Amino acid sequence: MKKQILGLAVVLFMGSAVCMAQDNRGGRPDMSKRIEQMVTDLGLNETQAKEFKAVMEEMRPNRGASGERPSREEMEKKRNEADAKLKKILTDEQYKKYQSMRPQRGQRRGK
In a domain, 41, yes or no: yes
**Neighbour-count burial of 66, counting CB atoms closer than 10 A to its CB (0-12 exposed, 13-18 middle, 19+ buried):** exposed
**Residue 55 placed within a domain:** yes
Domain count, the chain: 1
Dump pLDDT digits (tens) for 77-90: 888 999 999 999 99
Q: Where are the alpha helices (DSSP H) in 22-111?
A: 31-42, 46-59, 72-89, 92-108
Q: Is residue 21 part of a domain?
A: no
In this structure, is residue 40 part of a structural domain? yes
pLDDT tens by residue, 5-43: 877 777 777 777 666 655 555 555 677 888 888 899 999
User: In which domain, by residue range, is 50 found?
Assistant: 31-61+70-101
- Please report whether residue 89 resides in a domain: yes
